[in-house]
Structure 1
Amino acid sequence: MNIISYNVRGLGRGVKWGAIRRLVRNHKVDILCIQETKKEHIDKSMCQALWGDLNVNWEFQPAINTAGGLLCIWNDLAFKVERSIKGRGFILLEGVWTQENKKTVIINIYSPCDSHNKRELWESLKQLRGQDPEGLWCLLGDLNSIRHPSEREGVSQRGVEASSINEFNEWISELELVEIPSVGR
């Protein structure tokens, strides 16, 4: 299954829409997860234009004013969604990866930057995992956290607290997640 996660930093129109359509077409994408749409409203015609096809399924979480916003678009032939859950900072899609006939959970995340709300998001996701641990779990998006100080490319290392890094790594371990290599930035 081909999944693309893209922090678009404002969905706007024009150039970004064309770039997204090309990504979907060129990489034969099955699921597209977009963070920071900065859109309060998204409709089917917008999703069809982004996906490049009329046959499209989607879920979105609106931005608050111009902050955040999440969008998931998928090919129903590759991923049959059976339920979705929207929480503060995430959209969870649970369904069947049809090619492998495996239960799969995809979570598109845009985490708050402040520690308190970030911890609340982590706790929500941990509870969801605990309630339904079966199947493949894929968390993606912008977690606004790092696993190692060297990940703060081009930013002063002084602001990176070891405790927040340790807490993030512990959360990843508790959920039994494995970081997979990603392509691009």
Structure 2
Amino acid sequence: MTLRLLSWNVRVLNNPQKREVCKNLLKDWKCDIVCFQETKVSSTDVAFVWSLWGSPFIDWAVLDVVQALGGVLLIWDKRVFEKLDVITRQFSVSVLLRGVVGDFVWACIGVYGSNDDGQQVSLWELSS
């Protein structure tokens, strides 16, 4: 199985025009898992997620922005992965996923936080 992953520091997804650009690129790229960092979105719902990935076959987990900093959104195709568990911490959102085909289990972690000098640091880690 070929897995298509995308990690993207989008720097503000609350702009409808930027979301439209993201949606069009995601259609072209046909990803299985997407991690958006620095979303700057304070409240994420299904309508917002669908505005990014127009497929009805999606699931997602989110770390909403804290004091206008950060925000992480993990989205995946439910035809490829089944969600087993989600853990949200101060700077990360973790999802345990099982492959629909092959029954393999993945831990996907989207991390976002500030470092000491005030610059932002983004990290996307995918491990099995």
Task: Report the counterpart of residue 22 of structure 1 in structure 2.
Answer: 24
Q: Which has the higher strand share?
A: 2
Q: Which has the higher helix share?
A: 1
Unaligned 5+ segments in structure 2 are: none
Query: 1:49 offset after TM fit, Å?
Result: 1.2
Cα distance in 2 between the residues matched to 1:103 and 1:55: 19
SS across alignment from 1:91: strand
With structure 1 as the length reference, what TM-score do the two structures score? 0.59
Moved over 3 A (4+): none
SS across alignment from 1:22: helix
Task: Report the counterpart of residue 71 of structure 2 in structure 1.
Answer: 69
1:10 to 5, 9, 12: 12
Task: Report the counterpart of residue 122 of structure 2 in structure 1.
Answer: 142
Cα distance in 1 between the residues matched to 2:78 and 2:62: 16
Task: Report the counterpart of residue 108 of structure 2 in structure 1.
Answer: 106
Q: How many residues align?
A: 119
Task: Report the counterpart of residue 33 of structure 1 in structure 2.
Answer: 35
Within 5 Å, which residues of 2 pair with 1:1-185? Answer: 1-114=3-116, 142-143=122-123
- Paired residues of 2:85 and 2:96 also in contact (CA < 8 A): yes
Cα distance in 1 between the residues matched to 2:80 and 2:30: 11
SS across alignment from 1:111: strand
- Paired residues of 2:57 and 2:79 also in contact (CA < 8 A): no
With structure 2 as the length reference, what TM-score do the two structures score? 0.83
Larger RCO, structures 1/2 (Cα 8 Å, 6+ apart): 2
Residue identity matched to 1:103: V
Q: Percent of pairs identical after alignment?
A: 26
Higher Rg: 1
Query: 1:61 offset after TM fit, Å?
Result: 1.2
Query: 1:70 offset after TM fit, Å?
Result: 1.0
Task: Report the counterpart of residue 146 of structure 1 in structure 2.
Answer: none
Cα-to-partner distance string for 1:30-76 (whole Å, 9 max, x where unaligned): 11111111111011001011001233211111111211111111111
